[in-house]
Amino acid sequence: MTRRKQIHLAAHFPGVNNTTVWSDPRSGSHIAFSSFRHFAQTAERAKFDFLFLAEGLRLREQNGRIYDLDVMGRPDTFTVLAALAAVTDRIGLAGTINSTFNEPYEVARQFASLDHLSGGRSAWNVVTSWDAFTGENFRRGGFLPQDQRYERARTFLRTAFELFDTWRGDEVVADKEAGVFLGDPDAGAFAHRDAHFDIAGRFNVPRAPQGRPVIFQAGDSEEGREFAASAADAIFSRHGTLAEGRAFYADVKGRLAAYGRGRDELLILPAATFVLGDTEDEARERAREVRLAQVSGQTAIRFLEQVWNRDLSAYDPDGPLPEIDPDPGEHTVARGRASVRMYRDPVATAREWRERAAARNLSIRELIIEVTGRQTFVGTPASVATAIDDLVQADAADGFILVPHLTPGGLDEFADRVVPLLQERGVFRTEYTGPTLRDHLGLPAPAPGRTVRAAS
Amino acid sequence: MSAHLHLGVALDGTGRHPAAWREPDARPAEQFTARYWTDLVREAEAGTLDFVTFEDALGPPERLDAVLVAARVAPATHGIGLIPTVTVTHTEPFHVSKAIATLDYVSEGRAGVRVRVSARPEEARHVGRRTPGDAGELLAEAADYVEVLRRLWDSWEDDAEIRDAATGRFVDRDKLHYIDFSGRWFSVRGPSITPRPPQGQPLVTALAHRADPYRLVGTSADLGFVTPRDAAHARAIVGEICAARDDARREEGVHVLADLLVYLDDDAGAAAARRARLDARAGTPYESDAAAFTGTPAQLADLLLEWRDAGLSGFRLRPAALPHDLRQITRGLVPELRRRGAFRTRYEAATLRGLFGLPRPANRYAA
């Protein structure tokens, strides 16, 4: 009998979106360390693979003012991950770090340091920023044309890998009698030159337990998929349903062979939300309440403005959709928000939404609740466990990144009620088997010198 | 003026002496682990020291990132201040501002930062940026950098988060502020993405050896680390820094602490012999930018109290070898100073600012 495919689970600290509910009396601080500790320790108690922190480097604005309806404010990713290493033992510590407003030398040092300080638990979601809006906060504030974003990310990552690989791991001999600290006096030496970076010298952090951090990639475009296949260890996808998930999974796994990589060397981890109940009806009712809390009337109008690219504050969220068409020009209403790019043809989107709302007599708020619905798993613990397992066994995913809607206790119920069922099914670990995040993910240790590969 | 000295230690590798790693109790191969740093900082905390600093640079020798070391140690300690070094010449003030704010959150109000300029060409090559400017330019840039750090820490008023169910607003955006800094080297719009840290303003510190850096300390820092040769020199330096502060019309006080490299043993002869052994192993006598003291903890206590009377708030001691000289400080010097009524017996405040008697400052942007 073959062993069933093992599920990987990660926990996304609730972010600065309307999906994070702050009006609930159980909603705690999004900035106090106690919230991060609670969240991380819950995920570790449940034997999750890793926890994940997103990043955004400029407060969002809408209609020229700071957006005030959602949770906002977050800590520095590296710093809070390093602190979490002190209050956890095994769970992976993953964060988004932008490659636009940083230097490879500095970021490589930070990840190598985090990996040392956590005993081999670091992971990096590599992103690039494209907007001058965010760049206004940085001395390296120049921004990139969108078509150069992956080129920049790839180059940055390759450069960081070169720095990690300047140490093999056996150089620090620290022989007190002989007076030899480094067995190889040239350890850390590098010289790198390309269109983006022209650097040389000595990398000053010896090889970390994982060699280099686990690499995540979140892009969904053709370029993003290719980048993931060439260089990433895991990909965050949006495709949590069976059909879409299977298509995405097959597509991305199919790209690996061209880079000399096996199918198990890149994990597909869609983001997913969940709402639990003692019965299916109770879960559905709770899910509806969560959606109402996530999409207030004001939030619905603001969301509509992001697609329409117009001030719609005069509209009634409980009334019909605007007759006026979206402004197809450059986005000016909402800034610092990636979601505005999801709707590539806003006029067509508006037409489709109007028809949908008219057919079923939906208000603006009801429509927005429906079209922004991201509730992946709604049901009893047993039905949610079954759904997760089924999707993984059907190769729609290798696991999920769960995004709770409450800080800091949003993961507790899943940890207490769903994880034991997955463990009973024999598809999720009951103990960690190794110390590093690579061990949890079943990824091979990188050999020094194996940097980003070109397609063969 | 408090009768108590302020006392911190400068942690770096296995100690300041280049041969320190070869000492019998040194743990050179462990200096890239969390355990190593936690042990050292807990030892310093057992002596109720005000703070530890962590050295750093964007270049050799081998070191872990100082901010991350401090953050890793923070949850494992409870009373001691944590002051990592940041190289301001090559880093982003926006990133560093939120990193130090976050260190303040994870340590619940014990964060500081030591701003360091780098004129080393090899560090500039590591970031492929530019050849560093002259010393005066680097210091002027550092002053701008500190201004940006401070404005960003204040860019959220303390009560900006309102969670007002009636209006649906999470924050009161009138209490979030663009900092709109524009200078010769960079401009930063703000506000920070991180709310105002627990201390309001974490402590800004700098090491200074000459007139220009003294001015940076006087105009921009809360703590200045200086390297006097003797008490008279210390008095002159304190005077220069206070004059710079007055010229800048700053209301905040500046604490001036003298750096001392220390070789400590229960017996003065043993300390001298150990220093000689270290120098012999290094092949050449180690000369530091700071004055060196070799002797017993009681003799060091005499010296500290004499120099204190020159206007110093206290000292940042640089252990020549770790953990030996740190233990001599916490287990020898500290009890000696306590006997003389010159050092605390427990942490009397929960924050690093509090240990220095500094109030939580008003927000510059608050109406």
Mean pLDDT within A388-417? 97
From A434's Cα to the closest Cα of chain B, the distance in A is 18
Picking from A105, A103, A100, the residue whose alpha carbon sits closest to that of residue A136 is A100
- Is the pLDDT at A444 greater than 80? The verdict is yes
Mean pLDDT within B201-227? 96
B82 touches chain A (CB under 8 A): no
Of the pLDDT bands very low, low, confident and very high (cuts 50, 70, 90), residue A144 is low
Of the pLDDT bands very low, low, confident and very high (cuts 50, 70, 90), residue B1 is very low
- Count contacts between A and B (CB, < 8 Å): 210
Of the pLDDT bands very low, low, confident and very high (cuts 50, 70, 90), residue A341 is low
Q: Which domain holds residue A325?
A: 296-371
Report the alpha-carbon distance of residue A181 to residue A300 in Å, rounded. Answer: 62
From A404's Cα to the closest Cα of chain B, the distance in A is 18
- A216 and A70 co-located in one domain: yes
- Is the pLDDT at A367 greater than 60? The verdict is yes
- A151 and A34 co-located in one domain: yes
Give the nearest partner residue to B189 out of A136, A174, A206, using CB atoms. A136
- A145 and A256 co-located in one domain: yes
Q: Do B75 and A86 touch (CB under 8 A)?
A: yes
Of the pLDDT bands very low, low, confident and very high (cuts 50, 70, 90), residue B85 is very high
- A244 and A314 co-located in one domain: no
Report the alpha-carbon distance of residue A56 to residue A224 in Å, rounded. Answer: 19
Averaged confidence pLDDT in chain B = 96
Report the alpha-carbon distance of residue A327 to residue B31 in Å, rounded. Answer: 58
Q: Do A31 and B195 touch (CB under 8 A)?
A: yes
* Residues above pLDDT 90, as percent of chain A: 79
Of the pLDDT bands very low, low, confident and very high (cuts 50, 70, 90), residue A224 is confident
Report the alpha-carbon distance of residue A220 to residue A351 in Å, rounded. Answer: 25
Q: Do B58 and A105 touch (CB under 8 A)?
A: yes
Q: Do B105 and A114 touch (CB under 8 A)?
A: no
Q: What is the pLDDT of residue B262?
A: 98
Q: Do B122 and A201 touch (CB under 8 A)?
A: yes
Mean pLDDT within A246-259? 96
- A367 and A386 co-located in one domain: no
B91 touches chain A (CB under 8 A): yes
Shortest CA distance from A207: residue in chain B: B32
pLDDT greater at residue B134 or residue A429? A429
Residues of chain A contacting residue B169, judged by C-beta atoms under 8 Å apart: 68-69
Residue A186 included in any domain: no
Residue A354 included in any domain: yes
- Is the pLDDT at B38 greater than 70? The verdict is yes
- Is the pLDDT at B241 greater than 70? The verdict is yes
Of the pLDDT bands very low, low, confident and very high (cuts 50, 70, 90), residue A452 is very low
Of the pLDDT bands very low, low, confident and very high (cuts 50, 70, 90), residue A453 is very low
- Is the pLDDT at A127 greater than 90? The verdict is no
pLDDT in tens, B7-24: 999 999 999 999 999 999
- A49 and A72 co-located in one domain: yes
pLDDT in tens, A186-195: 999 999 999 8
pLDDT in tens, A342-351: 777 889 999 9
When scoring B25, B95, B153 by the number of chain A Cβ atoms within 10 A, the one with the most, hence best to mutate, is B95
Q: Do A79 and B165 touch (CB under 8 A)?
A: no
Q: Do B127 and A105 touch (CB under 8 A)?
A: yes
Give the nearest partner residue to B126 out of A74, A87, A105, using CB atoms. A105
- A89 and A150 co-located in one domain: yes
* Contact call for residues A273 and A377 (beta carbons, < 8 A): yes
Mean pLDDT within A169-197? 95
- Is the pLDDT at A451 greater than 60? The verdict is no
Q: Do A69 and B169 touch (CB under 8 A)?
A: yes
- Separation of first and last alpha carbons in chain A: 36
B194 touches chain A (CB under 8 A): yes
Domain tally for chain A?
2
Q: Do A85 and B72 touch (CB under 8 A)?
A: yes
Of the pLDDT bands very low, low, confident and very high (cuts 50, 70, 90), residue A142 is low
Of the pLDDT bands very low, low, confident and very high (cuts 50, 70, 90), residue A149 is confident
B174 touches chain A (CB under 8 A): no
Shortest CA distance from B74: residue in chain A: A83
Residue A180 included in any domain: no
Helices A381-393 and A242-254, interaxial angle, to 10°? 30
- A356 and A398 co-located in one domain: no
Averaged confidence pLDDT in chain A = 92
Q: What is the pLDDT of residue A152?
A: 84
Residue A456 included in any domain: no
Residue A174 included in any domain: no
pLDDT in tens, B301-334: 999 999 999 999 999 999 999 999 999 999 999 9
Residue A326 included in any domain: yes
Q: How many residues does chain A have?
A: 456
Give the nearest partner residue to B176 out of A31, A59, A299, using CB atoms. A59
- A208 and A320 co-located in one domain: no
When scoring B21, B69, B193 by the number of chain A Cβ atoms within 10 A, the one with the most, hence best to mutate, is B193
Picking from B51, B81, B82, B4, the residue whose alpha carbon sits closest to that of residue B312 is B4
> CA angle, corner A421, sides to A415 and A426, nearest 5?
115
Q: Which residue has the tokens 């969390």?
A: B34
Stretch among A131-135, A446-450, B228-232, B354-358 having the lowest mean pLDDT? A446-450
* Contact call for residues B101 and B155 (beta carbons, < 8 A): no
Q: What is the pLDDT of residue A337?
A: 76
The residue from A322, A348, A371 where one domain ends is A371
Residue B226's beta-bridge partner residues? B208, B258
Q: Which residue has the tokens 């964007």?
A: B58
Report residue B365: phi and psi, to 5°.
-95, -10
- Is the pLDDT at A279 greater than 70? The verdict is yes
Residues of chain A contacting residue B185, judged by C-beta atoms under 8 Å apart: 139
Mean pLDDT within A146-164? 87
B78 touches chain A (CB under 8 A): no
* Residues above pLDDT 70, as percent of chain B: 99
Domain extent listing, chain B: 9-53+267-359, 82-204
Report the alpha-carbon distance of residue B85 to residue B114 in Å, rounded. Answer: 5
- A340 and A214 co-located in one domain: no
Q: Do B67 and A59 touch (CB under 8 A)?
A: no
Mean pLDDT within A237-262? 93
- A15 and A110 co-located in one domain: yes
Residues of chain A contacting residue B108, judged by C-beta atoms under 8 Å apart: 33
SS3 B318: strand
Mean pLDDT within A268-290? 97
Q: What distances in angstroms separate CA A132 from CA A62, A86, A141, B181, B189, one per listed residue?
A: 16, 36, 7, 16, 11
- A77 and A128 co-located in one domain: yes
Mean pLDDT within B166-186? 96
Residues of chain B contacting residue A298, judged by C-beta atoms under 8 Å apart: 168
